[in-house]
Structure 1
């Protein structure tokens, strides 16, 4: 089908009350928190250069809601992954279900299916593994952060320049590139967690010029090893959720001429961990899982980025290839045990459904008992090739423009298998002793052409229009080679289903910058993500395919530099209208989940960010978000679990969230500086399900967390030693919780308890 939204739908909705934005001024963020150290005499944060618009602009000159976190800020705050920096970004929410199972959302745009936030490493998009339930968003890849130049978080849909799966926004992680200088960096950390064990990490970087002014190399290696803090009371094991990761990057920069640059990057990360899910009804940080649930991930990412500057234009080519092999598991023991009853015996043993005799019941119970403990084990792989080619104007002119094309070829394979585990150790038995196995193959081919142009009729005004045309095809196929009649899973031969769609996305932006200290902008922009097809046993034909969902974002904002650049204040207000939402359904026997479309939602929000330098050496950052995310139409599909009604709050989206940080650096001698930093973030309460009447709806309580670092640094180099405490007040910060009808199904994941450690770093 073809989806085309018209400009008429935007009409008066851009008239979001500017006064509402001012109310957000009581909130505030580290949007500009500390770029590279300012040039001499420039102590403002306004010189941070970003490339979100595919050309160089500063944060304050970019007419969109954007948060830029520099490498210095990340290091000073002890950031190592996306969950660490999410608290600094208004509207950025991470539903962390454990290693390899992180769901990223911006501005309340959160749902199952393809990702709603595009994640890029050096402009190469990475994708999560689709899994058996077509839920790539729930397994977003997250590589360890070290030697990073900056992170740009673009809030609001970025459909024209960034395409599918950026309907809530986009995150760009940009690494430091090889230079023509000999340099190196090493960082180490040791820590201990309350109620848990010991942990450490070691990071190293070396940069070497190979051919003067032509070729340079940069190599990074890191190792992380953390004992867990969750105790399994069923298996009588402590600290089961340990985590190990080893990774690195090799980067080459080739500059044969002054106007041509080629960056080649190869990186890998191997993870070996255990699920960090626990059961609140058993106890805080306690699990009653009958199986130890492993997670393994071997990720590789390769890229070739070439830029050729030809006077008034620049040609950019970005080639990326991702290969990810992963395996994760879920405890299936309690679900299998739920079949241990007389009714299921009757339906399974006797074709006429008559009651089982005592002998039949005894044999049936023995059969059910022989199936546990067991885990659903999901080994799979993802291969994703992307190519983008674009041409952009350079320099200053009346019209800035970018045109380009994008191609993606993604192949996912995954096996869903029920495997027996050892009853004493809880370890999955290898080689697997299988009860059931199903194979699924998911292929996505996507093509797009796009363009965006900005006209400057006068020096203080810019008018932008963007368009993207997309065309995709998705093919899902699968078969079952080990049947399990107990749950209705018969053996089946290979079958395939297709889904395809084309359409267009629009963007309009107007900005007024009367002087260097004030900008006001308004935006209307679209976002979408692909639909697909389910490969589910016994699913009726009308539910096999599901469509893309899409949204319009209407936004007004302002960026202010006040008090001679001592205060930077950015405000935004927006309304998002989201249609045909992709939602999770479940088969009538509860065994399989699948994707469907149902309902519509409206999200209204206010964001505020502030950067303040009240005195020499002290920097304050504040941020805040208010979100009102509700359904505006009933989810009419009768196959959707806990179908929502108009007015229901969207799950896992708090009304309020915010953060504050204070960083202080002061010389104590000619060669030594004192350093201190305090970070506090607050996340409001939310719910796990739409309907207030849903018996399985879980309230996720609000929480506040505080982290502190204190240390000394050598003034002449990037060398320091720091003592840190994370989660100072030992808050139980649950970010995900869910419940079902199965015993022991009430599960949660959370931030770690209080953690104390020492961090050292040295640059040479």
Structure 2
């Protein structure tokens, strides 16, 4: 009996020991995690950096099932997204990102986007939006709020988003996998799978990191015909694949070389728009709107420890190939029908022919190509050492940057069956008594419009920052960047809807000096107060040709005889005051700031309603002001609470935009696409189970305030409602396995968050319906 008891105790001992180890591990992790950032291009504690920063770790992205930019905007203060001009929030790759209300769907981007050291920022060119890297093998995403022109250049006037990938580890071999499956209410299933391996090839000298991922996001929109009969189910599904390869080579004791490559392919079967006058998220359309967006981004970074300073060379290239189709039936076919001379007005076209032309299907085929090569050299001093402050109270960073970007766009707009429709009524398509100013060959292969647009942009800049430490607790920062750039546009367009056709070019040279000033006071090791003043800037550019034959009346209303060839740069000044504090032994952190931005000469799109063309112009000034906060707490072992949010008031400050033809651009009008506020709260509780098993439960709610989708008060998208979502999950870990069950949009909020009008059709965009799923993560 004694031996039986001893044996039972012996079996229970490892279990008790395992439980104790798990409990001890959780107890030791009772402080808020400090996520090191590279916002100032050196590794730093974000609490010591004089700017507002949110850093979301790769672990957090995975645990909270944050899959794309739209998810990120709901959990990070004062970041939002809106559709690029002419898209209405169509799909991946067509949205713009805004920070702190610095929002513009025209001209250059207002937020810089980086993939590691590779800038992948593209402008609002011809309905293209930001590149959206997937959250794959990511160490963290850094959101830097406020102008970052000193270190990141033009287009970082609202802020910068950095996707920081995991680096190869020279010591540890590791393989991780992640799989996920879920089902969308009223739609189809979604799934995701990836595997990442880290392999030291030569210990402490050479390592390889390689990973692949495949994902599928289910759809929930059905395509129907005019009678409501379903033609296709769940058309807005998306498939994507990613590949990342990186090497890390310690060539010498002082030199590390890191080449890497990232490839991404997004295949969207259609957009997420439905007709508001149809039930059950149905889209009545004649032409499907798929897209394929490919990104290739190789780079090589060299870090050289020179003893007293660090030299970094970052050489990068990216290529984007974005092919997409838009349903042009609502404007190409309809526009052409309005040019026909009706018999009721003394012309030759019978009303039946006009109606038949207006009802024909039409597509807009867009082939977008963007390529950029860039080179940055920077030299950085050693971090500040209080023990050596008498010798050197300075730290500094200086660098130079060059880039060449080319964007090529081809557009073709066929109206299917056009020639045959004319013939069925006994007419020739090139009859000038039917269509004014028509020429033979104006509709080759039923193509109503064809255009070729070739943009070129060159940049060169020098930049630097210096910090002077008056004492270990107080230091001042002065930085500046001087930039020179030249952009050109060569274009050729023709066919009937291009008017008389065009073959022209335009160019614009820009330069800017963007300073930054900051003062930082470390009141004590746990509390920092800072203030900063910084200038932001984005380049001007050239406009596509506006045909005066069809757009003349609209141009005359704006006081123009032809469309302007160029639009100028715009700029802003930002003023910020903030604090970053840690309390209770880093069990509570509170970051908060207030800001004021004065924005001049805003780049805005001028829409010409008669001919449906748009050109960019500089129209008016604006101010944005607001607050941000981020609070995290661990009040007891295993429990983590967080709350974050932001409020922004972004308004035009004069009527110049309205005077220049931008409808609704008057003083006091809210800038489009900017929610009044966003906020998020979450709670996570970790606890020990039997053996070496641990578990967690987690929940969060996100709120996004009301916004304006258009400056025009008569637009159907002028007033966008606020909305909220709620997500919950629970999981358990044992050894190297973690299983999680989750629900996103748990209460199935079906708010229509955008409702733009395309011709006579009012479209709707809503949150993705409730999705319930399960995931498995492994680590070996």
Give the TM-score, by structure 1 length: 0.88
1:180-230 deviations in whole A, cap 9, x for unaligned? 322101111111101101121111111111122221111110111233101
Structure 1 position 141 matched with structure 2 position 151: no
* Equivalent residue for 1:380, pick from 345, 368, 371: 368
Report the alpha carbon displacement of residue 123 of structure 1 after superposing the two structures with TM: 1.8
Structure-2 separation of matches of 1:328 and 1:733: 27
Larger Rg belongs to: 2
Residue aligning to 2:680: 659
* Equivalent residue for 2:760, pick from 743, 746, 760: 743
- Residues 530, 615 of structure 1: alpha-carbon distance in 2 compared, 3 angstrom cutoff: same
Whether the 8 Å contact between 1:92 and 1:104 is mirrored in structure 2 is yes
1:502-558 deviations in whole A, cap 9, x for unaligned? 120010000111201111111110111111011223265562110111100011011
1:342-399 deviations in whole A, cap 9, x for unaligned? x6323xx89xxx9244655555555555xx2112121121101111111010132411
Residue aligning to 1:110: 103
Whether the 8 Å contact between 2:512 and 2:537 is mirrored in structure 1 is no
- Residues 402, 469 of structure 1: alpha-carbon distance in 2 compared, 3 angstrom cutoff: same
Tell me the number of residue pairs that the alignment of Structure 1 and Structure 2 aligns. 700
Residue aligning to 1:150: 140
* Equivalent residue for 2:314, pick from 311, 315, 318: 318
Structure-1 separation of matches of 2:739 and 2:41: 38
Structure 1 position 402 matched with structure 2 position 397: yes
* Equivalent residue for 2:776, pick from 738, 760, 763: 760
Matches for 1:51-70 after TM superposition, within 5 Å:
51-70=38-57
Unaligned 5+ residue runs, structure 1?
1-36, 424-430
Structure 1 position 242 matched with structure 2 position 226: no
Structure-2 separation of matches of 1:432 and 1:125: 40
- Residues 747, 365 of structure 1: alpha-carbon distance in 2 compared, 3 angstrom cutoff: closer
Report the alpha carbon displacement of residue 156 of structure 1 after superposing the two structures with TM: 0.6
Structure 1 position 531 matched with structure 2 position 540: yes
Q: Secondary structure in 2 aligned to 1:75?
A: helix
Q: Secondary structure in 2 aligned to 1:725?
A: strand
Whether the 8 Å contact between 1:330 and 1:375 is mirrored in structure 2 is yes
Structure-1 separation of matches of 2:416 and 2:217: 25
Structure-2 separation of matches of 1:739 and 1:619: 44
1:259-303 deviations in whole A, cap 9, x for unaligned? 211111111111211211223233453222221101111210111
Structure-2 separation of matches of 1:47 and 1:312: 27
Residue aligning to 2:4: none
Whether the 8 Å contact between 1:703 and 1:732 is mirrored in structure 2 is no
Whether the 8 Å contact between 2:92 and 2:132 is mirrored in structure 1 is no
Unaligned 5+ residue runs, structure 2?
1-23, 84-88, 385-391, 419-443, 549-560
- Residues 468, 240 of structure 1: alpha-carbon distance in 2 compared, 3 angstrom cutoff: same
- Residues 334, 47 of structure 1: alpha-carbon distance in 2 compared, 3 angstrom cutoff: closer
Structure-2 separation of matches of 1:558 and 1:620: 20
- Residues 255, 450 of structure 1: alpha-carbon distance in 2 compared, 3 angstrom cutoff: same
Q: Secondary structure in 2 aligned to 1:490?
A: coil
Farther off after superposition, 298-307 or 330-339: 330-339
Matches for 1:126-205 after TM superposition, within 5 Å:
126-128=120-122, 131-132=125-126, 139-180=129-170, 181-205=172-196
Structure-2 separation of matches of 1:604 and 1:193: 38
- Residues 657, 315 of structure 1: alpha-carbon distance in 2 compared, 3 angstrom cutoff: same
- Residues 666, 441 of structure 1: alpha-carbon distance in 2 compared, 3 angstrom cutoff: same
Q: Secondary structure in 1 aligned to 2:749?
A: coil
Whether the 8 Å contact between 2:332 and 2:415 is mirrored in structure 1 is no
- Residues 279, 641 of structure 1: alpha-carbon distance in 2 compared, 3 angstrom cutoff: farther
Structure 1 position 602 matched with structure 2 position 602: no
Structure 1 position 293 matched with structure 2 position 303: no
Whether the 8 Å contact between 2:319 and 2:372 is mirrored in structure 1 is yes
Q: Secondary structure in 1 aligned to 2:666?
A: coil
- Residues 420, 206 of structure 1: alpha-carbon distance in 2 compared, 3 angstrom cutoff: farther
* Equivalent residue for 1:709, pick from 702, 708, 729: 729
* Equivalent residue for 2:118, pick from 114, 121, 124: 124
- Residues 734, 384 of structure 1: alpha-carbon distance in 2 compared, 3 angstrom cutoff: farther
- Residues 104, 511 of structure 1: alpha-carbon distance in 2 compared, 3 angstrom cutoff: same
Report the alpha carbon displacement of residue 338 of structure 1 after superposing the two structures with TM: 3.3
Structure-1 separation of matches of 2:773 and 2:26: 33
CA RMSD, aligned part only?
2.3
Give the TM-score, by structure 2 length: 0.86
Structure 1 position 461 matched with structure 2 position 466: no
Q: Secondary structure in 2 aligned to 1:335?
A: helix
Whether the 8 Å contact between 1:383 and 1:410 is mirrored in structure 2 is yes
Structure 1 position 389 matched with structure 2 position 384: no
Residue aligning to 2:79: 92
Residue aligning to 1:34: none
- Residues 545, 284 of structure 1: alpha-carbon distance in 2 compared, 3 angstrom cutoff: farther
Structure-1 separation of matches of 2:612 and 2:323: 20
Matches for 1:454-493 after TM superposition, within 5 Å:
454-481=467-494, 483-484=495-496, 487-492=497-502
